[in-house]
Protein backbone atom coordinates (compact mmCIF):
# COMPACT_ATOMS: atom_id res chain seq x y z
CA UNK A 1 0.00 0.00 0.00
CA UNK A 2 1.12 3.52 -0.70
CA UNK A 3 0.09 6.95 0.53
CA UNK A 4 0.63 9.85 -1.87
CA UNK A 5 0.48 13.47 -0.72
CA UNK A 6 0.15 16.43 -3.08
CA UNK A 7 2.10 19.21 -1.39
CA UNK A 8 1.56 22.90 -2.09
CA UNK A 9 4.38 24.03 -4.36
CA UNK A 10 6.52 20.93 -3.68
CA UNK A 11 5.08 18.25 -5.96
CA UNK A 12 4.00 14.83 -4.75
CA UNK A 13 5.48 12.86 -1.84
CA UNK A 14 4.87 9.11 -1.65
CA UNK A 15 5.29 6.68 1.24
CA UNK A 16 5.21 2.93 0.68
CA UNK A 17 4.95 -0.18 2.86
CA UNK A 18 8.22 -1.26 1.27
CA UNK A 19 9.89 1.41 3.44
CA UNK A 20 9.05 -0.63 6.54
CA UNK A 21 9.70 -4.34 7.08
CA UNK A 22 6.49 -4.93 9.05
CA UNK A 23 4.17 -1.97 8.85
CA UNK A 24 1.96 0.18 6.72
CA UNK A 25 1.52 3.87 6.19
CA UNK A 26 -1.83 5.54 6.58
CA UNK A 27 -3.03 9.06 7.18
CA UNK A 28 -5.47 10.90 9.39
CA UNK A 29 -6.76 14.43 8.88
CA UNK A 30 -6.88 16.21 12.21
CA UNK A 31 -9.59 18.62 13.30
CA UNK A 32 -7.48 21.64 12.37
CA UNK A 33 -6.73 20.35 8.88
CA UNK A 34 -3.34 18.88 9.75
CA UNK A 35 -2.37 15.82 7.75
CA UNK A 36 -0.96 13.26 10.17
CA UNK A 37 1.01 10.42 8.60
CA UNK A 38 0.92 7.28 10.73
CA UNK A 39 2.81 4.01 10.61
CA UNK A 40 0.99 0.94 11.88
CA UNK A 41 3.20 -1.87 13.13
CA UNK A 42 1.81 -5.00 14.78
CA UNK A 43 -1.40 -3.33 15.93
CA UNK A 44 0.32 -0.21 17.23
CA UNK A 45 0.39 3.13 15.44
CA UNK A 46 2.90 5.95 15.72
CA UNK A 47 3.11 9.37 14.11
CA UNK A 48 5.72 9.52 11.36
CA UNK A 49 5.24 13.17 10.38
CA UNK A 50 2.69 15.99 10.37
CA UNK A 51 1.90 18.42 7.55
CA UNK A 52 0.35 21.77 8.40
CA UNK A 53 -3.00 22.69 6.82
CA UNK A 54 -1.24 25.01 4.34
CA UNK A 55 1.41 22.44 3.30
CA UNK A 56 -0.79 19.92 1.49
CA UNK A 57 -3.66 19.86 -1.02
CA UNK A 58 -4.86 16.25 -1.01
CA UNK A 59 -3.81 12.73 -0.06
CA UNK A 60 -4.52 9.36 -1.59
CA UNK A 61 -4.15 5.93 -0.07
CA UNK A 62 -5.17 4.32 3.19
CA UNK A 63 -7.08 6.34 5.74
CA UNK A 64 -6.97 5.82 9.50
CA UNK A 65 -10.35 6.28 11.14
CA UNK A 66 -11.29 5.48 14.74
CA UNK A 67 -8.59 2.87 15.17
CA UNK A 68 -9.43 0.98 11.97
CA UNK A 69 -7.40 1.07 8.79
CA UNK A 70 -9.76 1.52 5.83
CA UNK A 71 -8.87 0.91 2.22
CA UNK A 72 -8.73 4.22 0.36
How far is residue 72 CA from its own chain's centroid?
Answer: 11
Query: What secondary structure does DSSP assign to 4-15, as a single string?
Result: EEEETTTEEEEE
> Residue 59 CB: number of other CB atoms within 10 A?
21
The span from the CA of 42 to the CA of 49, in Å, is 19
CA-based end-to-end distance of the chain: 10
Q: How many domains does the chain have?
A: 1
pTM here? Answer: 0.75
Phi, psi of 71, deg, nearest 5: -75, 130
pLDDT one-digit tens code per residue, 5-61: 999 988 999 988 776 655 678 888 888 889 988 887 777 778 888 999 999 999 988
Domain that holds residue 36: 2-70
Amino acid sequence: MTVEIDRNGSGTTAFSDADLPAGRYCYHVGAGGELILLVEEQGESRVDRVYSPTAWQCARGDVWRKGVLLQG
